[in-house]
Structures are given as C-alpha cells and as structure tokens.
A and B are shown apart, each in its own frame.
Chain A
Amino acid sequence: MSATTSPPAGATPRYIGQAVARKEDPRLLTGQGEYVDDLSLQGMLHVAFARSPHASALIRSIDASAAKELEGVRAVLTGADLNGDAHEMKSSYEVLIGSVGPVLEPLASARVKYVGDPVVMVIAESRAIAEDAIELLEIEYDPQTPVIGYETSLANETLVHPEMKTNLASVLTSEPDPALDRAFANAVHIVQETIRQHRYINVPMETRGLIASWHSGRGEMTFYSATQLPNEFRTFTTRLLAIPENKIRVIARDVGGGFGQKAFVGREEAAVLLAAKRIGRPLKWIEDRWENLVSANHAREELVHVRIAFDADYRITAVFCDHEEDIGALPASGTSLTTGQMVGMMFPGPYKIPHAGYSTKMIWTNTCGRLPYRGPWMMETVAREIMIDIAARRLGIDALELRRRNTITEADMPYTSATGMSYDRLSIDRTLEKVAAGIDFEAFRIEQGEARAAGRLIGIGLSHLVEPTAAAGGSFGIEVANIRMQPSGYVDVYVGTGNHGQGTETTMAQIVADTLGIEYEKVFVHDGDTDMVPFGGGSGASRTAVLAGAACHAAGAELRGKIVQLAAHYLEAAPEDLEINSGKISVRGTPTHFLEMTEVAFKAYNDSPSLPPGMSPGLEATARHAADGITFANATHACIVEVDPKTYRVKVLRYLVSSDCGVVINPAVVEGQIAGGVIQGIGGVLFEHFAYDENGNPLTTTFMDYLLPTAADVPTIEYAHLETPAKGPGGYKGVGEGGAIASPPAIVNAVADALGMDLPSQPLSPSLLFAMVNRAPTS
C-alpha cells in the first residue's frame, strides 16, 4: 500500500507544537498516581536488607538464629542461601558489550565492598518487623583497609577486588595521532588545568522498589516495578531465573523519576525476585531514603586533565581530554567498560577543533557503584566549558568572544568532529547568539562594573553543548509503536517506553492524533506493562521523542493509509482525493460529503463483508524504528549569579536556555525537561555532594545532609527555543539530558566570573567557596 509513506497529516498539525494539557496530570496532581508502594497483594510479605557497615571487610560468620526466632519473621536469607539460585546477573548492555570486574551477586557472600552493600535479606510480615530482625543478626566482619579516593587508588596496593589484581577497571585511549601532537607542538598558547567534579546522584522522588509475585502453578513471575525499562527488566529476569520471558510480566504504573537509576536491575531487586520464587509469597521491597542514598548507585565523581592548544587568534587547534572516573566497587552491570569513552568522543562538542584526543580510565574504589545519571558523559561539557572560561581569563579574551571564534556555524554543516561525530542540522552559533542577546551580555558587563564598585559580586557564565540524543546502542537503538483504532473510533497506542515523568502519554498522543487526523482526547498511550506492549527499549538516553516518536509516525501513517483506503471505498472516491480533519474523512473540496472516522472504525471490525476485496478486518498497525546514528541537538545556557561576600551563598539571579531540539512536540514538556535538568545542575554545583570520609563512611545519608535545591533556590528559568528539524521522522531531537549536562559549567563559570578567579573544582558550597577564595589568588 502506498499509504504507508503518506505524509503525517493532510491538514495542518493541530497538536504537535502545542502545550496541550498533559494526560498524566489529573492523576499525578491530585495525588492519585499509582507507585509501587501504593499497591498491596494478598499474602504479601516485606523485605529489608542488612547492609555492610564497613567499606571493605571479609564476612567471617552470620548468625541469624535470633532473627529467625522473632515473631513475624518468615525467612532470613544470606548470600550462601540465595546466590546459587541466580542463573545469570547480566544486563542486556553487558551481554552486548561485555564487562570487566567480578560477576555481580545478589547478596555479598564473602566480602563486602562498600558501606551499604546488602548482606542479609529478611522477609517478614511487615517492614518494621524485618528491621527489628536485622538488629538481631550477628554478622562478624573482618574489616580490611578500604580503597577510598580514585585519584590515589591506582597507586594503592590495596585492592577493591583482590582477584582483579588492579583497581583500574578499564582504560580506553584514542588512536595515536601525530597531527595532534604537532598541533600541540605548534600552539601559540596552551592552557591546561584539571577540572574536578564531585559525586552527586540521581535522587528520584520515588525510590527503587518492587513487588514480586511467583505463581507456581503457571510458572509465572509478575512484578510491579519502579523501572524506566520494563522490557529490559523482563529480559534480565529471564536470565536471572532461567525461565522463558513469556512467563515474566513486568508492570510499571506511575514511576516517580529515575534519571538513569532505574535503568538497571539492582542487586536487591534481583534478590527479591529470587526469594519470591523460592518462598512462593508476594514480596515487597521499598527502598527507604537512607538505602537510596547509600546504595542505589552513584554518579559524577570524575575529573578531566584538559589541554587546549590555541593559535595566535585564539582559535582552538587541538584538545586532549584525559578523563578519570570513580566507578565505585560494583557499578551497574556492563557500565565499567565504556562509559567514559563518550566523554572523550564528545569533548570537542560545539567547537571547530581540528585535532582531538582522549584517554579515559574507570577506577574502582570501596564506595557505592556508579550508575548512569542524566547525561552520564556530561563531564565532557563540564570540563570543556569550565576550561573555556579559564582559558578566556588566562588569555585575556572575553569568554563570549572566545566561544564565538570557535563555534561551529550553520555554514559548516554537515560537520564531522575530530573524534568522528557527524553533526548536521544544528544551530550551534544561533543558540549562542540567542542567549548572548537574551541575557544582554554587553549590558551585563556594565552592570557588573557598577555592582563591583558598590561591593556586590555578580557574574555571568555561559555553557555551550552539542547533545547526543537517542544515542545508545542495543535495545536503546530501537523503539516500537503499535496503534489500534478500536471499534469505537478511540485509539490505543502501545509503546515500549517506560514513562517516568517525561510526559510520554501526552507527546505520543499528540503525534498520533495529528498523524491520524483525530482528536487528542481520543488517543490513549500505554507503556510500562510487558504483557501489553511490544518489546521496546524503554525511557532513557533522550530517546523517546526521536525513536518512539518515529515509530508512532510510521505506524500512524500506515494506519491512516488503511483508514483512507477504507473510507475511499465507502465514499466511492479516490484515496488521494480524501482528507481527514477532526475525525471526519471527506473528499477534498466537498466537506459536506464525509464519513465519520467512528463509522469507518465500526465497519472495520463489525461489517467485514463491506470491506474492499482483500482488505483484512480491523484497524491496527505496528512499526519499529531503528535509530539512524545519533540524533544531535544543541543548546546554550547563560546564567547570572550573585555571591554574597559575607556568607558566600550563591544566588542564581537569571537563567536563560536557548535549546534547539528540532520540532517541539509540546513546549511545556520540553521546558519541563530543561528546567528539571537545570535544577539538578544548580543542585549539583551549589548544594548536592555525596561525601565519604577517609574510611569510606558515607556522610550524607539523609536529606538534612544531602542537600537538594528547593524552590527558593531556583530562579524562573527563561527559554528561547530554536527549531531546526532533524532529518528523522517528525524532525524531533532529544532534550532529556542537556539541561543537566550544560547547567553545572554555566553556574561554575558565573560564580568564577563574579569572583574573578578560576574554579576548577566543585561543589561551590559557601564553606568551600570561602576556602577557595581565601586560599589562592587567581593563577
């Protein structure tokens, strides 16, 4: 059928581009979201974990006799009891690319490797009783010297994993490049510095959790999960339990955020699945906030030794990104091998840089393991953009001017970076100019001078990025949409995403409504139930608009073609003469001669004799879209801050983002994505710091110490959108992570500008800022 390639809609899009009300909001805003902990199953028992108090220790013995005696306790399981049930503990990512390091085990069996490492699982009639039982456990540890601090751990003879013989998990280096070496040798200026970032973490509002229910008669495992990737959780469980995936159902109703934390099945979740199968009663584990902070995996503790070579006109001739990252003891399955590579590959970012090289090292320590967090490679932008400002300060050139001179322009498109990234349809120079004008950079410099004279410290910071969206391989490279127009004319859309705050129910409905030419209110999007939706990658990697959106376009176009053919048959007209508007199908130019879509839908299911010869009954189409490489997007951020010279508190006065994510499906959703990311950046730079002491004891285990930004700490974020359509269906680019990637350096640069000094390390808490200001003059 030629209809499969028909354009999205005969009429002007009604919904794409509009801030239509989110379908999720009525339930979420009235407290009627359904999270894992809102659910109870008949006969359900509760799980709590005893966790290691040591950063590194051998487990000498576990005496659970008193715990087992406690009334209400149903089982106490150790690694020795449970781990043998685990067939395979591997994410699909690890299956695809391999891994290094020890095989993950559900419960630590011989050695604990960080404070919070799960050691014993208690199953009881209530969570409180399970916690009572934990207090009765007698676990004898033989504490070992822990490896703390990734910058020294490679020289450390003490090992996180003694069997690995090294604390270096992996190292990846770009090919030797004599031209790169020559560029540095011939440079007029070389600026180098080490840019450090501290550990800060995902902190979803809903912690991890699941209810696992084993039906022995059917041989089925059903689990309700706070997951971003329902199908991956199902595939993982197939390997874990060695049962067919057809016998596994993963259900995620509402999920309260994840930011990457819920993209991998955690060891605790695996332990619950194994125990539920063994015990035969539904088990609930809801991670509490302490557990989430100490053991739901961490992120962002990394550094880059940056070297930038400039010519006499301050044009960048070469860069080298020497990256090191602390991946803790037990990072998420499959992430210890390659995640740093993206830092090196993306390091040139938005600038025309002829030569670039990189090296990246992933280093084990006795701390909580690393997990992806919104823009897991973001250190490329953090290090580069902080470094651009440092270079500007040292070379005596304005930071905006330095960016202007080096920015890739629209005239350069298509552009291939020195690390092989192929950019096209980007507006890098235009977002920069949009932000420079919107924040009024020149006027600010005047205001800044006046403020300084009055004893006020205000500063401006820019950050510039190219964001690789829908980038990941494996199942992240594909997405699916199955669209069914039901006999009533209402439409169900089944996508493989795992909506956990992205507004997928809304944006995908906008696309399908426009593609089919029906009302938004008649379209219902479903995800998060593996018995309902076809296999898809889930939500993460800024992929939903690009890949699920493309799949919705393709399936919608196919379905529209069938609807048009059917209507043409009934209207006795040629298909190409028909148009669809608001659910009415008419011959172009004679709007009074029409069929209601509902009539067509009814007949498609209920009146098969009336169908054209050879046409199958029903109205349904499925499309799978495979990513055609990375869909790049671009953005520029500008930030104005004031530093209180007495308290060293930083107040963000203005924050402006110019983002080009291609065609905007829903501006409110796009701005929500950007705002959420920017606020995580404000938190990361000014407040959040997951800290350990020198013995590996976590210091920030409640929200009294792990400080999240509050509404009072966040300005009204301003936007200046550009829309340069991507080449893919619909023209969408991802926008999920850029806010969190570009905001930290914008804020750091603004504070550094206010103080007139380099700030190569974070966080910029008042106390640390005070120490930096009073320690060192500008280098």
Chain B
Amino acid sequence: MKCAPFRVELPSTVDEVVAALVEHGEDAKILAGGQSLIPMLAMRLARFDVLIDVHHVDGLASIQLDQNTIRIGSRVRQSEIERSDVIKRHLPVLAEATALIGHFQIRNRGTIGGSLVHADPAAEYPAVALALGATFEVTGPAGTRVIPAADFFLGYWTTALTDDEVLVAIHFPIPEGKRVGMTVKEVARRHGDFALAGAVASIGLDPSGAIVETAIALFSAADQPLRLTEMEAALTGHSPDSLDIPALSAAAAAGLAPGDDLHGSADFRRHLFRHLIADVAAEAITRAQEATNV
C-alpha cells in the first residue's frame, strides 16, 4: 500500500497550473487536500507521474462575499467552510453539509474544489452545488469559463473539466432577502461514512406562503447528483398545506435506480430516499416559513 513513484510540481499561479496541465496531460493530477487521491495512489488504483500541488497557488484559498454570491476558492479547506461566519450567516446549508463529510481530520485537509472535481456521486458537495445552482469558475489554456453545476457533473468521478483545466472557484448564489429555506440530510452506516442516501432541498416562498422555487437534489442516488425535477414541478406554485409531500416523495423515490451493494440494496436505498426526500422538503418549507423576517 505504497504509492508508485511520482514527481511533485509546485506552481504559484493558476497560469502555471494550467501550463503544467498542458505539459503533462493525462499523466498529471492536481493535488489539493489529497483525501481521495492519496489513498487511491497508495492502493495503486490510480497512477500519475506528476502531481501538481496547488497549495502555493495564489487566490485559491479565500471565501468572498459579493452582493448575491459567495465565491469560494477551490483550495478552501472543508473545515474552513464549516467554521466560516460568512457561510454560516448567508449559506448555512453549506456548513451543515460540510459537517457530514468524513471526520474532522479529513475536513481539515479536504478541500471543496477537490471534493467537487472528484465528483463522487455519494459526496455531499456536488449535490449541494446542484441544488443551489452553483457555478464553477474554471481556467484552461483558452482562459476562464463558467460552467453551471447542472452541466458540470457527468457521471462517476467524471466532470466537464478537460485535462488542461483547473477549478479556480465555486460561486454560490445566496438567497439574500428572500424567504428561502434550505436543508441537507443523509443516512450513513456510521458517522463519517459515505452516505447510503442523501438529499438537499432549497425551497422559496412568495409573500403569500406559496412555493415559488424548489430545488431538491439527491446524492448516492445515481452515478451523479440528481435533481428531482418532477417533484420540484409538483411543489412549485402550490401552498405547502395543499401538498401530500410523503406521497410525492414516495413517487420520486420509486423512480430511482440507486446502487446496490453490501452496504445498501437498491430497495433499501429507495426506502431511505422516500423518507429523506419528505424530510428535507418539509424542513426546507419550515425553514422558509421561519425566514419571514429576513
């Protein structure tokens, strides 16, 4: 369980990162917190000749609040997100999701960008990014482009990033001044394990209390984070009191084809999703209702 030999490059700018990616192509991998990459190298499940360590790159490690957006550098540690006052005030669901990631030792090393580009379908951040409509700021040889979360995740450990692009930052829109409630829940075998099933909801209400915007995203439900567009449509435009959320959740869960493995059969995961979807939807509505005075 020792890594095969590799070389480490230590660029100090995003342009140098891109140059290194261009030079080494698929033989190189960016090293951020290393919480997935290093074990894969040690178990020789992956092999790269060059690791491009981004710890010395300027501008990747800050959390910035703009008017309606929080911009989080890709190298920001998960533990910094968990503790950030800006995030706890303006986007608490992101801090809540962070607390579900692994254990604190992992979060002290792991980065938000690393988790997103690793794109494990059982991870929390990709589903949160999808539910919240985050955008991904990526830089490559042709300059910088912005990829919406809906276009970013393509499948198991696969994203829209090309081999010569680096994720620089993630932009989360914040529902400042709106009646929006968000929440995240998951079920894992033990605290800190990858979720057997997980769900994120963001629900907005109009002044009358009717649902005007709904986003529900699941993790560990498919090969990538999954939006429940049918259920979202069924909620939007209605007063919460008029909805049979358990029935809608059961219908949504019944349509899922989650993985089937030692830790959870597909049937069991559907069962968990039925409850999780109902729980996050109900809690997001409650939180939105409580957000009246924002």
Contacts and interface: CB of A to CB of B under 8 A. Distances in A.
A767 B268 CA distance: 6
A128 B1 CA distance: 8
A131 B4 CA distance: 8
A47 to B, nearest CB: 12
Contacts of A411: none
Nearest to B271: A770
Contacts of B133: none
A577 B237 CA distance: 99
Interface of B is mostly: loop
A443 interface: no
A765 B189 CA distance: 8
A725 B103 CA distance: 46
B65 interface: no
B264 interface: yes
A774 B274 CA distance: 16
A699 B260 CA distance: 13
A79 interface: no
B272 interface: yes
Interface in A342-359: none
Nearest to A46: B2
Nearest to A713: B190
Interface in A108-152: 126-128, 131-132, 135
Contact of A712 (B191, B265, B267, B268): B191
B275 interface: yes
Interface stretch (A6-14, A323-331, A702-710, A733-741): A702-710
Nearest to B260: A767
A131 B1 CA distance: 8
A107 to B, nearest CB: 20
A131 B44 contact: yes
B193 interface: yes
Nearest to B191: A712
Contacts of B265: 767, 770-771
A767 B43 contact: no
A649 B275 CA distance: 14
B268 A705 contact: no
B189 to A, nearest CB: 6
Nearest to B4: A132
Nearest to A132: B4
Interface in B239-285: 262-265, 267-268, 271-272, 275
Given A128-B3, A135-B44, A771-B267, A766 B262 contact: no
A647 interface: yes
Nearest to B39: A702
Contacts of B263: 705, 765, 767
B196 A766 contact: yes
A647 B279 CA distance: 12
B279 to A, nearest CB: 8
A288 B3 CA distance: 13
Nearest to B194: A704
Interface in A269-300: 288-290
Contact of B262 (A646, A705, A771): A705
A245 B281 CA distance: 71
A127 B268 CA distance: 42
A434 B116 CA distance: 55
A691 B190 CA distance: 18
Contacts of B187: 647, 649, 766
B1 A288 contact: yes
A700 interface: yes
B5 interface: yes
B189 A710 contact: no
Given A131-B44, A647-B272, A770 B267 contact: yes
A687 interface: yes
Interface size class of A (residues with CB under 8 A): 20 to 34
A699 B264 contact: no
A292 B282 CA distance: 46
A489 B54 CA distance: 62
B1 A770 contact: no
A132 B194 CA distance: 30
Contacts of A765: 189, 263
Task: Give the interface centre of A647, A691, A704 by most chain B CB atoms within 10 Å.
Answer: A647
A689 B264 CA distance: 13
B264 to A, nearest CB: 5
Nearest to A126: B2
A705 B265 CA distance: 15
Contacts of B196: 766-767
B92 to A, nearest CB: 23
Nearest to A711: B191
B45 to A, nearest CB: 10
A599 B262 CA distance: 68
Contacts of A705: 262-263
A771 B268 contact: yes
A206 B4 CA distance: 24
A127 B189 contact: no
Interface in B5-59: 5, 39, 43-44
A148 B216 CA distance: 43
A659 to B, nearest CB: 28
Contact of B193 (A290, A704, A774): A704
Contacts of B194: 704
B268 A766 contact: yes
A208 to B, nearest CB: 14
Contacts of B272: 646-647
A380 B189 CA distance: 29
A687 B268 contact: no
23 contacts: A126-B2, A131-B4, A288-B1, A290-B43, A646-B275, A647-B272, A649-B187, A687-B189, A699-B262, A700-B262, A702-B39, A702-B43, A704-B193, A705-B262, A707-B189, A707-B190, A710-B192, A712-B190, A765-B189, A766-B264, A767-B196, A767-B268, A774-B267
9 cross-chain pairs, A with B, having the tightest CB-CB distances, nearest first: A128-B2, A288-B1, A767-B268, A646-B275, A767-B264, A770-B268, A647-B187, A131-B2, A712-B191
Interface of B: 1-5, 39, 43-44, 187, 189-194, 196, 262-265, 267-268, 271-272, 275
